Every structure is written in structure tokens, then in C-alpha cells.
Structure 1
Amino acid sequence: MPSSTKKTRAQWITPKRAPYIFIAPAVLLLIFFTIYPVLQSFILSFQQVKGITKTFVGLSNYTRLLHDPIFYKSLLNTFQILIVQVPVMLFFALLIAVGLHSSLVKAKSFFRIAYFMPAITALVAASIVFMILLDENFGLVNYLLNLLGIESIRWLSSPFWAKVSIIALMTWRWTGYNMVIFLAGLQNIPKELYEAASMDGATRVKQFFLITIPQLKPVFIFTVVMSTIGTLQLFDEPFILTGGGPNNATMTITLYLYQTGFKYFDFGYASAIAYALVVIIAVISWIQMKLVGDFEE
């Protein structure tokens, strides 16, 4: 290679330019695979797609949302699951974390791995196992209920019990994940606080509510907000277990979005649903951060 070419490259790759050169591949990937699809989807929400033809329809897709009963049904289903599943999951996660943090529990490493395993289990495999366990005719759960003299439950074909099944699967899968986060928060609380409280005569119950809970404020905010976002984006569990049925009883927003876009090929309306979901998530997350912060102060 001619020395002049080497000299030109050396002059171009200066210390000031080097950082930008190194981050350029990551920035390009972000632009092409994240920013561009997001912007394109936003533009698509103002269009109607028929085949390869795109027609600008203004706010027509968003207006359609306001008169769509299935959208409201999916929104209601998602919030019903959210209101029940997130508090139950976080309660068990905190309870398990406190137990594993206690000096009374032995073999802590084993239990931590055991509780965390569902979070790394393939969701499709876990859902299939739940489908087998909850089978109305041959499932193990109904078999055990029959042994106790209880009639079989239509776990996946009853509107109420189908929601319960999804909540059970979500709780089983994500409790251990949040347990690890709570456990990390508990390990960062200074032991001196508990020692001082013990010297003042505070019981373990008082220490829990006056020291542990306030010290876990950042952890509570993080787990509540992230769990809420995850539940509002709920797709895999109802898609595999119930397909949104029976009679749209387990239809969630993201599942409705998926069916609108990839079953009925109404991509413009699906994009409008996606951005409506973004707004809902942003508003609810902000409200939660304010409420949880005020509650913990």
C-alpha cells in the first residue's frame, strides 16, 4: 500500500474522530432496526394499506379506535389481568426474597436458582406444559381436584378461568425474576439500621415496615413499572394458551394488534393500536411512579 494512502488514513482517523468511528456500527444498527421502523410505523398509522397501495387517511385509524368494541374489550381484559397479576406476583416475590435473605433458611443458592428457573424457561414449552396440566378431560390439575371431590374446571374454555390460567402462568414465570431484584435490594440495606432499631426495642415486624419497605422504595418503583409495562404488552401466554378466546375473553391489546396486522393485514390500523398502547403505557408508568413515590415517602 502506498505510504501516501496510509498517511491519508492516519490523518483522517484522529483521536477526536476515533470514538465516533467505533460507535458508528451500533448507531447504524439502531437507526435501521429501531428508529426507522418506529418512524415508519408512526407514518403507517395515518395510512390505509391495500396490497402494495398506501393511502393517507389522516386520523381515520385513531377515530376507528374510539368506536371499536374489540379494542375496548382487549383493553379491559389486559387491565383485569394487570390489576390482579402484578400485585400478587410482587407480593410473592417480596415474600420469597425476605425468606431467602433470612439467616434461618439453608441452601439459599439452591432455592434462588429454583425460583429463578421459570424466568429462563422457554415460554412456548412452559405454555404447552400448562395446557397439558390444565386439560379439562385429562389434565393433572382436574384429576387432583376430582380426587378431592371437586368437579372438573374448564380452565381454558371458561372466560373467568381462562384469565386465571394466564395469571397463574405469568405469576409462575416472573415471580422468581422479581424475587432476585428484591433480594438485591435487601442485601443493600445497611445492617446498622436493624441493629439500631433492635436496640430501641423495635420488633421484626416494625423493622420490616419502618426500615425494609422504605429502603426498598427504588426497587418497588422499578418492579411495579416494569411489571406493568410487561403485562400491558402481554402476548405470548394468551396467544399460546387460549388464542384470545373464549369469545375474546383473553384477548389482550398486543394480541389484537397482532391479529389485526398479520391475520387481517390491516397494517395501518394495527400501527394505530400500537401507538395507542405506547401512550397508555407512558401515562400509566408516569402515574405509577408518582403514586409509588408518594406512598413510599
Structure 2
Amino acid sequence: MSKKTREVLQGILYVLPSTILIMIFSIIPIFMNLGLSFTKYNIMQPAQWVGLANYERMLSDPYIWASLKNTALFTLITVPIQTILALLLAAVIAELFHNRFGNFIKSALFVPVIASSVLVGTLWSIILSPTGVANDLIKTLGANPVNWLGGKSTALISICMATIWKNVGYFLVIYFAGIMDIPRSLYEAAQVDGATPIQRFFRITMPSLAPVTFLVVTLGTIWSFQVFDMVHTMTGGGPGLSTVTLVLTIYNTAFKEYNMGYASAIALLMFLFVMLISGAQKLILRGGRERD
């Protein structure tokens, strides 16, 4: 056996365990889900082939359209805000608090990240309850209390606030690592030329962090489309259909209605949406880099 052949076999053996796990827990379930989406299946009885009936049902299902609208709105609110907040906080800490105090701020903001989503949702439900801290502050300012989780116009916003509070620390750490990777000589040269901190941020920091921003936006978008724990804990999808999301609809369809075939079709729809959005983000970022 030649040396090159041995190296190839060694490389295959190194990647084989992870490849097998990915196939078992990711690739194969996707194809199983695709097959189930064309059936009527309730776990207790054998699956019955129904063709495109599940997809035709989605076109007129008000839950699907409400889920799509709420999930898209949730994504459009949370992703830009948590991305901008994380970037600004990372830049400020790197510029002004590159010391123990800055490390304390990063650690404090990272605590919600490692906390359970159910715990965070419960905490924010208490804060935003009619007798919670948020309404106490509003009363102190002389305004009327807000029905945060019971109002159709405020329930989704409340979930967005809780989600941003939980996620921003994670993206802050990613951005901070990216800023630390930028050569210090660029900032020193700009400072010698008389550039202000704001100018250095827009001319050096932001362009250098373009790949990091793509990662942050992509992860934030995927997480937003997968939101479930916070919604289930804080509102359960209500009031009405104002906070129902795609994953919550999949959960209710699969484990409350026991309609696994229809749930699989909805899951495939969500998968396609995430893939399309991630691809669009990549094309937009690539186009921006080519223009630069």
C-alpha cells in the first residue's frame, strides 16, 4: 500500500465517525420527514399516502399564514436589534473597557445565554405580568399599565424583548473576538491620521467584521425561525394567533393533534424558508464585498 493511499484511508477514518453521526441524526431524518410529508400518519396506525394533500391544506390553513407572518415579523425585529446591540457593545468594550470591568460586563451579559429558555421566559412573564416590575415602573411614571402578554399588539414585542436580552451576550462575545482579531496597526495608523473613534468604527471595525456579521445574522435568523420555548412559556401562541410561530404550529400539529404527516410538511416548509433566507444573506454579503 502506497503512502498516499494510507494517508487517504487515515483521513477517511478520521471523518467517518462524525459523518456517520451526521447521516443518522441529520441527513436521514430530513429524507424521512420528506417522505412523511406526503402521508397521513398519527403514530398509532400505518402511514397512508395522500400525495400533495398536506401541501394543498397549507395554502388555506390560517394557522400557517399566521405562523409565517409572526415568525417573519419576529425575525425582522430580533435579528437587526440584537446584531446592532451586540456590535455596539463589543466596540464600546473594546475601545473603552478593555480591562477587568469590560470582562465583568461580558460575563454578566453572557449569563442569560447559558440560562434555560424556559427559565428566561418564566422570568420575563413575571416581569411583564400585570403586577410585575415593568408595570410598576410605568405606574411610577404616571402612565397606565400595559397588558404586555395579553394584548395582541404587545405580546409578540414582549417575546422579542426577552429573546434579544437572552441572545445579545452570545453575539457580543463573537463580535468582541472578531474585533480583537483586527490588526492594532490599522487603528494606530488611523489615530495618527486624526481619525475619531466613530470614524475608526465605520472605516475599520465594520468592514473588517463583515464575515462575523454574516455569521451573526445567519445564526440569529435560524434561531428566530426555530423560536419555540419562549413563545410556549410566555404566551402559548396567544392571544388568538398573535404569537403562534412555525415551530409552535409544528409542535401542536404533531403532539396535540397527532398529525405527523401534516407536521412534517410544515417542518419542510420551514426548512426551505431558512435555506432560502440564508442563501439570500450570503448573496447580499458577497455582493457588498465585491462592491467594496
Cα deviations by residue, 1:162-187 (Å, 9 ceiling, x for unpaired) = 11110111010000000000001100
- Any idea what SS the aligned residue of 1:159 has? coil
Over the matched positions of the two proteins, sequence identity in percent amounts to 35
Match of 1:216 among 175, 194, 209: 209
CA distance, structure 2, for counterparts of residue 214 and residue 18 of structure 1: 40
Of 102, 118, 142 in structure 2, the residue corresponding to residue 108 of structure 1 is: 102
Indicate the structure whose relative CO is greater, using CA pairs within 8 Å and at least 6 residues apart. 2
Structure 1 residue 152 corresponds to structure 2 residue 148: no
Q: Out of 215, 236, 240, which is 1:243 matched to?
A: 236
Q: Which residue of 65, 70, 79 maps to 1:77?
A: 70
Q: Is 2:265 the counterpart of 1:256?
A: no
Q: 1:18 to 1:288 in 2, by over 3 A?
A: closer
Report the Cα offset of residue 17 of structure 1: 6.3
* Gap regions ≥5 residues in structure 1: 1-13
Deviation per CA, 1:116-160, whole angstroms, max 9, x where unpaired? Answer: 111001111111111111111x21211121121111110111011
Gaps of 5+ in 2: 1-5
1 CA distance for matches of 2:238 and 2:121?
A: 15
The CA distance in 1 between the partners of 2:285 and 2:14, in whole Å, is 40
Query: Aligned equivalents of 2:187 and 2:11: distance in 1?
Result: 47
**What secondary structure does 2:83 align onto?**
helix
Distance change >3 Å, CA 188–CA 154, structure 1 → 2: same
Match of 1:129 in 2: 123
Q: 1:291 to 1:27 in 2, by over 3 A?
A: closer
The question of 1:117 aligning with 2:101 is answered no
Q: How many residues get paired?
A: 283
Deviations 1:178-230 (Å, cap 9, x if unpaired)?
A: 00000011001111112222233322222211111100010111101110111
Q: Is the 8 A contact 2:120 2:230 kept in 1?
A: no
Q: What SS is found at the alignment partner of 2:41?
A: strand
SS in 1 for 2:47: strand
Listed as ranges, the matches of 1:276-291 within 5 Å are 276-291=269-284
Residues 1:91 and 1:45: Cα distance change in structure 2 (over 3 Å): same
Q: What secondary structure, in the 3-state scheme, does the structure 2 residue paired with 1:53 have?
A: coil
Of the candidates 35, 38, 60, which is equivalent to residue 43 of structure 1? 35
Once superposed, which parts of structure 1, at least 4 consecutive aligned residues long, lie more than 6 Å away? Answer: 14-19
The question of whether the paired residues in 2 share the 8 Å contact of 1:99 and 1:105 is answered with: no
Shift of 1:90: 1.0
Higher mean alpha-carbon deviation, 224-233 vs 98-107, is at 98-107
Distance 2:21 2:213 in 1: 33
Report the counterpart of residue 8 of structure 1 in structure 2.
none
Counterparts in 2 of 1:20 and 1:222: CA distance versus 1, 3 Å = closer
For the structure 1 residues 200 and 27, does the alpha-carbon distance in structure 2 shift closer, same or farther, using more than 3 Å as the test? Answer: closer
Q: 1:271 to 1:193 in 2, by over 3 A?
A: same
- Aligned residue number for residue 4 of structure 1: none
1:223-242 superposed matches below 5 A? 223-242=216-235
TM-align CA RMSD: 2.0
- Which aligned pairs between 1:156-171 and structure 2 lie closer than 5 A? 156-171=149-164
Change (3 A) 1:198 1:252: same
CA distance in 1, matches of 2:280, 2:8: 42
Counterparts in 2 of 1:18 and 1:211: CA distance versus 1, 3 Å: closer
Q: Is the 8 A contact 1:185 1:219 kept in 2?
A: yes
The secondary structure found in structure 1 opposite 2:165 is helix
Name the TM-score, length of structure 2 as normaliser: 0.90
1:70-124 deviations in whole A, cap 9, x for unaligned? 1011100111111111111111111110111124564222111111111001111
Comparing 107-116 with 15-24, greater Cα deviation is found at 15-24
SS across alignment from 2:154: helix
In 2 relative to 1, CA 21–194 (structure 1 residues): closer, same or farther, beyond 3 Å? closer
Larger Rg: 1
CA distance in 2, matches of 1:116, 1:290: 31
Structure 2 match to 1:7: none
Is the contact between residue 47 and residue 55 of structure 1 (CA under 8 Å) also seen in structure 2? yes
Q: Return the offset for 1:27.
A: 4.5
Is the Cα contact below 8 Å between 1:221 and 1:293 reproduced in 2?
no
Query: Which whole-Å CA distance do the structure 1 matches of 2:177 and 2:171 have between them?
Result: 10
State the Cα distance separating 1:69 from its structure 2 match.
1.8
